[in-house]
Amino acid sequence: MKRITLICAAGMSTSLLVTKMNAAAEKSGILVKIRAIPESEILKYADDTDILLLGPQVGYTLTKIKTLYEPKGIKVAVINSVDYGMMNGEKVLKMALELK
């Protein structure tokens, strides 16, 4: 089971996207654990994460987050702003699972 953590400024706007991603996963029979957290809590959940997705509003932290977490085997990416704005859980889930 992949563990996906979405990060945004307060963890609130990504909560709806988590709901949509969970629905897409369930529809496709994919077992994942997805959560949304504020950027300030990343240390608390890093050891329980395989994939970190940054909301577009915190995309400026990509280099810093990659430097800190990719050496630990955690994949890091910024969510496409159109998919984020449309709350396209299916596309964001697919993008997360295809990260290399």
Per residue in 16-42, pLDDT tens? 999 999 999 999 999 999 999 998 898
What gap in Å lies between CA 10 and CA 70, rounded to an integer? 23
**Is 47 a known active-site residue?**
no
Instruction: Provide the whole-model pTM.
Output: 0.91
Confidence of residue 11 (pLDDT cuts 50, 70, 90): low
- Residue 47 sits in a domain whose CATH number is 3.40.50.2300
Encoded amino acid at 42, one letter: I
Q: What does residue 72 show for φ and ψ, rounded to 5 degrees?
A: -90, 5
What gap in Å lies between CA 5 and CA 35, rounded to an integer? 5
The answer for residues whose C-beta is within 8 angstroms of residue 32's C-beta and 6 or more apart is 1, 2, 3, 4, 21, 22, 25, 93, 97
- Which one is catalytic: 7, 8, 17, 78? 8
The domain tally of the chain equals 1
Domain range holding 71? Answer: 2-98
